[in-house]
Amino acid sequence: MTNQTWKLQGKTWRRLAACAAFLASAILPVSGIDQARNSDQLGAGDQVIIRAMHVAEISDKPIRIGDDGTLQLPLIGRIKAAGLTVNELSDQMRKRLANFLVEPEVAVELVEMKSHPVSVIGALVTPGVYQLHGQKRLLEMISGAGGLRDDAGSMVRVTRLRAQGALPLPAAKLDRTGEYYVGEVRVSDLMSAKNPSENFLVRPDDVISIPRGRLVYVMGEVRKPGGFVLREQETLSVLQALALSEGLMPTAGRKNARILRPSLDAAPGKKEIPVDIASILSGKTNDMGLQPDDVLFIPNSAPKSATLRAVEAAVQIGTGVVIWRR
């Protein structure tokens, strides 16, 4: 075998090795981003890595798409990237480089996406701004934000830019500016898939908000005082509120409870409504309804407290006598 043959084979092997290295770098994601995301359209602020074989002028370091949606690259010049997928952008670059190279090889990798924000805010476990990768539905975005908190209300409100198309909800309408669609869907309907069309595809720049639910409060001599969400019901009965607060304490003054209701008058303060829980429990009086922001207060019964303290003291004395006798 002649020296010339060896040289030709050496060049061939080096070229094959370079091709293999290029293909490996193009296939394996640098940042670990799912390859399925490469079907997303690029936009201003997104970050990509460009690998062009035999073009040392183009670095393989991350580069961010400008606010005008373009990239400025050696040899290629300024090229429009916004609105293209990474594969489409690769094709455009190959066409530009064909003026300098024979069969140029270009690979584009999406490193970071910033152009498809969706705001998921309100009574969620992890509210925030999420990037929309691929097609996601409303319920998927809520789940991706950790799901609803215990104090979440009964409605999901969605705001969408008019430029992104209509909001597919029956009662959706434009706001006063005419630039945004606003619509609502019930959480229970969404979760039960009562109307599957309400679980629509989310679009970039959508704002999904879940307001905190209206509360009623139970305070005083109950086992679990606190605020309880009304959810879809407009009111909560006294007995339901007591059940949510895990029942009365032994020292509760059942006949002297009261509801503290915000005053609708101009004068500040709360209106007091007496409640005889003993009478309600015995069926002599109808149950009463609590409205949003009502406070059901269960006072302490002084006679019951005194009796309970006496019983506790007697138990302690009796226990002491038994121990002394032993």
Q: What is the pLDDT of residue 9?
A: 45
Residue 75: partners with Cβ closer than 8 Å, 6 or more residues away: 55, 57, 58, 96, 97, 100
Q: What is the pLDDT of residue 159?
A: 96
Instruction: Let me know: does 265 contact 245? Beta carbons within 8 Å.
Output: no
Provide DSSP, 21-57. Answer: HHHHHHHS-SS---GGGGGSPP-TT-EEEEEETT-TT
Residue ranges of the chain with per-residue pLDDT less than 50? 1-14, 16-36, 305-308, 310-326
* Alpha-carbon span 165 to 160, nearest angstrom: 8
Provide DSSP, 65-104. Answer: PPTTSEEEETTTEEEE-TT--HHHHHHHHHHHHTTTSSS-
Q: What is the pLDDT of residue 231?
A: 76
Instruction: Let me know: does 22 contact 107? Beta carbons within 8 Å.
Output: yes
pTM equals 0.67
3-state secondary structure of 133: coil
Q: How many residues are there in the chain?
A: 326
Q: What is the pLDDT of residue 25?
A: 44
* Alpha-carbon span 58 to 50, nearest angstrom: 7
Instruction: Let me know: does 287 contact 239? Beta carbons within 8 Å.
Output: yes
User: If we measure between CA atoms, which residue out of 49, 51, 53 comes closest to residue 33?
Assistant: 49
Radius of gyration of the chain (CA): 34
Strands 207-210 and 236-237: unpaired
Per-residue pLDDT reduced to its tens digit, 280-316: 998 898 999 999 999 999 999 865 544 445 444 444 4
Q: Which two tokens stand for residue 198?
A: 């309400």
Q: What is the pLDDT of residue 271?
A: 87
Alpha helices in 77-233 (DSSP H): 86-97, 138-144, 187-192
Residue 15: partners with Cβ closer than 8 Å, 6 or more residues away: none
Q: What is the pLDDT of residue 20?
A: 44
Per-residue pLDDT reduced to its tens digit, 149-175: 988 999 999 999 998 999 999 889 999
What does the mean pLDDT of the chain come to?
Answer: 82
